[in-house]
């Protein structure tokens, strides 16, 4: 389905780039628009010199985007990727979650695995020399502009339960260099016959960039570290806090009580009211039941 006003490239850029660098996020529904609002406000508080770009699909109505425009974000309309029907069927929510069930956490009902592949449209943002992608369910807690100097492709490991996961990347934060050549090569590789990417964009990006460069784990601190690996948690070093499973705006999700301090922090950034000093935040319990 093509959105009105989009060209053959599948994106519609508005305005002009104010910087040669950009933080980029993806909004595919009203829930993630709320997440992106908190993310954008957190980025503004770091005094970044980079642009803030929001890729948004046709499922997001204009009122949900208004707070992002008010925060000075550059809004970029985009289609879902032009993928084959068989690819889309293989990567439906039922098939992806059936082949690789989530056993450690719960993805909310509004999560659609196919939407994840829209992240690849970042490589079409050739107004920018370097981009840092950040999932909309994240907060930036200190200035991280220095990571624009990191090479393509840089990402943090998917660590939230044990150090054994250091070999897998998490695509909630990554550094990239937009080029149309890379985007075209990605599309060709992505939809090869019978291709199946069990962790969607994460599996694909790790395959496409097998020699990916490691960002510090603190550049994508996954919320489950709070109760699974509390010794790893250090507020002073966290650049990006990522709410990777249950979302902080969900009411009464299964881990609400365990994650209450992190949920409260997100709500402060979302509303812009009573945002605490990070140094004054409580530390996680020394141990906590799973």
Of the candidates 208, 69, 189, 184, which has an alpha carbon nearest to the alpha carbon of residue 121? 184
Find all residues with CB under 8 Å of 193, minimum gap 6, and list them. none
Q: Report residue 22 CA to chain centroid gap.
A: 14
Q: Are strands 138-140 and 240-242 parallel, antiparallel or unpaired?
A: antiparallel
**0.75 cut: is pTM over it?**
yes
Q: Please name each of the domains of the chain with its CATH number.
A: 11-216 (3.90.550.10)
Contact in structure between 32 and 26 (CB atoms under 8 Å): yes
**pLDDT confidence of residue 256:** 94
Judged on CB neighbours under 10 Å (0-12, 13-18, 19+), 34 is buried
> pLDDT means per 10 residues in the chain (290 residues)?
55 86 97 97 98 94 96 96 89 65 56 87 97 98 98 97 91 98 96 88 96 97 96 96 95 92 98 96 73
**Residue 103 confidence (pLDDT):** 52
Question: What is the reported pLDDT for 17?
Answer: 86
């Amino acid at each position: 389905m093509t959105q009105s006003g989009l060209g053959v490239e599948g994106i519609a850029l508005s305005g002009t780039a104010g910087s040669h660098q950009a933080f980029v996020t993806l909004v595919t529904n009203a829930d993630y628009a709320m997440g992106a609002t908190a993310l954008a406000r957190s980025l503004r508080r770091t005094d970044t010199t980079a642009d803030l770009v929001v890729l948004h699909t046709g499922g997001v109505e204009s009122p949900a985007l208004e707070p992002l425009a008010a925060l000075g974000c550059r809004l970029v309309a985009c289609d879902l990727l032009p993928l084959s029907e068989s690819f889309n069927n293989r990567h439906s929510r039922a098939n992806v979650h059936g082949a690789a069930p989530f056993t450690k956490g719960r993805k909310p009902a509004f999560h659609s695995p196919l939407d994840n592949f829209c992240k690849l449209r970042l490589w079409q943002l050739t107004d920018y020399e370097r981009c840092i992608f950040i999932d909309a369910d994240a907060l930036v807690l200190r200035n991280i502009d220095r990571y624009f100097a990191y090479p393509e492709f840089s990402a943090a490991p998917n660590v939230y339960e044990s150090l054994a996961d250091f070999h897998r990347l998490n695509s909630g934060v990554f550094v990239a260099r937009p080029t149309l050549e890379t985007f075209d090569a990605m599309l060709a590789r992505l939809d090869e016959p019978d291709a199946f990417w069990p962790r969607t964009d994460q599996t694909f990006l790790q395959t496409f960039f097998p020699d990916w460069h490691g960002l510090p784990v603190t550049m994508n601190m996954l919320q489950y570290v709070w109760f699974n690996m509390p010794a790893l948690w250090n507020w002073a070093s966290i650049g990006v806090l990522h709410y990777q499973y249950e979302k902080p705006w969900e009411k009464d999700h299964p881990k609400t009580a365990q994650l209450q301090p992190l949920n409260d922090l997100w709500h402060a950034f979302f509303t812009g009211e009573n945002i605490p000093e990070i140094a004054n935040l409580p530390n996680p319990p020394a141990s906590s039941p799973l």
